[in-house]
Every structure is written in structure tokens, then in C-alpha cells.
Amino acid sequence: MKPMTHLGVGIGWRPEIADAVERLPGLDWVEVVAENICPGHLPEALLRLRERGTRVVPHGVSLGLGGADRPDPAKLAALGERAVALGAPLVTEHIAFVRTSSPVLEAGHLLPVPRTRDALDVLCENVRIAQDALPVPLALENIAALFSWPGEELTEGQFLTELVERTGVRLLIDVANLHTNRVNRGEDPAAVLDAIPLEALAYVHVAGGVERGGVWHDTHAHPVPPVVLDLLAALRSRVDPPGVLLERDDDFPPEGELAGELAAIRSVVSAGPATELGAEGEPEAAALPEAVREAAGPERSPDPTDGPGVRVAVEAARTRVALGQAALLSALVAGTPVPEGFDRGRIRVQARALAAKRADVVARLAPELPGILGGRDPYREAFLAYAKGRPMTAGYRRDALDFAEHLLIRDLPADPAARRRLTAWWRERAGVRPPRRVVRWARALAGRAA
């Protein structure tokens, strides 16, 4: 495993704060959501950052490497194109699943994979496929979760360690997610940090959240709390991280507050040399393993899925993982019964959170819809009613069109002028005429019969 590029302290680049990011003092690098940029039409503000030497790292959110299906070659190619266009030293993604293929369902969010041998075998094979397709190294992030899977066989530390050993993949450790999982799943962040191979660390995420009703919500829309900075300090005491990045995705504060949060992060990172406990519990200098100092590519241990004799077993594991993920995602987005062993209360919380996020993202992608429907509250009420019976199957942009069509089929909104505006909006984006009244009537009848 090659030594990781030193990144320094950075921030997640978002269009809403692009001007502020350019003015932030001492900024070393930025991370951009890969799916939000087009390689041939990079935003001017991002190009200016690159021109002055600021590194840019693409961060993917839609691969779903923890899913039962093999990675989509088109999505891998798109992620690689963004890495090349940005001159990035690496790309990052998540240890999560985001969709199922049977039935076809989209979560619109990162969901945890079960920490089982089956899921690990599937993830490792998917990671190897991604590594072979990408032009730069890959790092994977631990995610925040509201619930646990029943029947897990490995701890978080064991799962991540074996993933690194079998694939040579790097790790993106989100300390805010460690805190989230402490509150929501009772997991000890220190135990995770002690167990994982920190020599594989690519960089670190830091973000804010909020606790409601005993559940921590990883919002990326609140200030970084002291407890998360404490976890950053705990990680820093074990290793000198190549990079640390502040994430903020909503409710953006004034520029001065962003600068203050970056200063607090910088203070923790520069708090002294990294140390780790020796055999007698005394601090000793942290040493990087030989593998990290080599100039060769990713080092991989023999993988039990490599031999032809185990291919059938891996395919069987994919089938079992697919069945479990489909049952869970269907309960979350389609209202089917919660699978046995899950905390039903937490699944309800997650289902509400997914629906709310879906409504919010559609409103951001199609800001005309709340205006046509009379404001945020009427829009939200109408969308959540629609979402209850219509799981997302093809992404948020298609979801916006399907929502508009759903309303038009039902002769909504009731105001004729608003309905004409919605029809015009739908027609302009769908590229076809809306259904005739007789077709809408037939569809509505079919829907009620179902």
C-alpha cells in the first residue's frame, strides 16, 4: 500500500458556500460529491480552487458497494472520469447499500450492511471490482446508522479490519459516525479505533448532528459538537491522519462560523505527535508498517473468494444478502412488514427519515413544485402522501416527475391555474404530453383496485 497523500485540513465543497470556501484562510483541500458535478462542465469556483493548487477529492454516494449486486460499470466509469477531471489522488465511497434489484427499490440514502460473513464476502468482491475499474486508489467510509441488523457475526472493528486485509482498500473514518453509532447502536468508538488498521487511513470526516428522542441524527446541518472533536482527538492520539475534512450539507452558517470550526479542527490535529499504547500501556512512537512505506500498489491478502471452487458459495452469499436487503428496504420504503429481529421502533424512525429526505431532495431539485402547490407545507403533505404508496425506483429526478404525474392523474392540485402550471412543468421536463383524461381515469381506477 503506497503512502497516503498528505491532504491537510479541508471542507466539503458545496455550491451554496462556494464563495465562502474560496475565502477560507489556510484551506488545504476540498471534497466534492461526485454525482453533483459533470467532468466537462466543472463549476468556475471549483476550477479556481484547482488553479491555485487546492486538491479536490470526489466523494461518491451512489455505488452501493455493500449491496448484493455487483457494481454498475457505468457508475464506476463516471466516478473514474471525475477523478481524472479533478486530478484527484483518490476517490471515496461508503460501506453501505442503497438499492435492491429484486424488487427494484432505491433508498435514496446510505443504509448499513449486516456485519456477517456473507455480507463481507460480497463487499470484498465488489470492492475488488471497483478497484480494478478505477484509475486511482479507493477509500471507503464507515457510515452512521439508526439501527442494527440481527444476527451479526463480526464487530465493526473486525469487519473493517478483514475488509482491508482482503482488499487493500483504504479507510475514510468519520468520527461523527462513530459517535452516531455509539448513541444509536451502543458501539464503543474507542474499541473501533483500537481494532482497525489505522495505517490504512486515507482521511477523516468531521460533522455535526443532533439528538432527538434518544436517537442521534447525523444531519451535517449543525455545528460540530465537542463530543465529536473529542473523538477526533482520540483518533489523533493513535495516528497522524493524512487529512481531516469538515462536512456541512445544509443550514449553512456564516463564513466566520465555518472558519471557526476549521480552526477548532486544526487545533485538535496539531495537538502533538501521534502516540499509541505499547505492551505495558506506556505511550510509544507510532510506526507505520512496512507495507505503507512501500511504493507498490495496494497489498492484498489471499481472499477466500479468489478460487474457482468457492464461486458457487459466493453467489449463494449474494442471494442470501439480496433477500435480506430486499426485505429490509421494502419495509423501509414500501410499507411491508418489518423483518424478524429488527427493532421495529428504529425501523419506523428510519422510514420517516427516508421519506422526509426524499421530500427535501425533490424540493431542492425541483424548487418550482412547492411554489406551484402553495408553499412548503402543502407540498410536503402531498409528497409524503404520494411517497407512502410509491417507492422510489429510479433516483430523485425521476421521482420529481413521477410525483407531478401522480398529482395530475388525480386532477390535482384543485386550483385550475396551479394544475396548468404543473402540467406545463411536467411536460417541459418529461418531453411528452401528459396522460389524457381517460388514461388518467383508468390509471386512477387501477390504483384504487390494487
Name the one residue in this structure whose C-alpha cell is 486544526: 266
Cis, peptide link before residue 339, omega less than 30° from 0: no
Comparing CA positions, the residue from 318, 264, 286 lying closest to residue 120 is 318
> Distance (Å, rounded) from C-alpha 347 to C-alpha 339?
10
> Distance (Å, rounded) from C-alpha 65 to C-alpha 434?
37
> Distance (Å, rounded) from C-alpha 96 to C-alpha 73?
18
Per-residue pLDDT reduced to its tens digit, 412-449: 999 999 999 999 999 998 875 545 544 454 455 445 44
Comparing CA positions, the residue from 379, 325, 333, 330 lying closest to residue 355 is 333
The sign of the dihedral angle between the CA atoms of 231, 239, 146, 334 is positive
CB 326 within 8 A of CB 114: no
> Distance (Å, rounded) from C-alpha 417 to C-alpha 50?
47
> Distance (Å, rounded) from C-alpha 17 to C-alpha 209?
19
Question: Cα torsion for 155, 161, 163, 168, to the nearest 10°?
Answer: 170
* Residue 136 grid cell: 486511482
Please name the residues in contact with 194: beta carbons below 8 A apart, sequence gap of 6 or more: 157, 238
Per-residue pLDDT reduced to its tens digit, 44-75: 999 999 999 999 999 999 999 999 999 999 99
pLDDT at 296: 34
pLDDT at 389: 85
**Residue type for 306, please?**
D
> Distance (Å, rounded) from C-alpha 53 to C-alpha 28?
9
**In a structure prediction context, what are the per-residue pLDDT tens digits for the chain, which is 450 residues long?**
677 889 999 999 999 999 999 999 999 999 999 999 998 899 999 999 999 999 999 999 999 999 999 999 999 999 999 999 999 999 999 999 999 999 999 999 999 999 999 999 999 999 999 999 999 999 999 999 999 999 999 999 999 999 999 999 999 999 999 999 999 999 999 999 999 999 999 999 999 999 988 899 888 889 999 999 999 999 999 999 999 999 999 889 999 999 999 999 999 999 865 444 333 333 333 333 333 333 334 455 555 545 665 678 889 999 999 999 999 999 999 999 999 999 999 999 999 999 999 999 999 999 999 999 999 999 999 999 999 989 999 999 999 999 999 999 999 999 999 999 999 999 998 875 545 544 454 455 445 444
Please name the residues in contact with 132: beta carbons below 8 A apart, sequence gap of 6 or more: none
Comparing CA positions, the residue from 119, 211, 218, 237 lying closest to residue 174 is 218
pLDDT at 292: 31
Comparing CA positions, the residue from 436, 354, 331, 327 lying closest to residue 107 is 354
Name the one residue in this structure whose C-alpha cell is 502533538: 272
> Distance (Å, rounded) from C-alpha 390 to C-alpha 339?
20
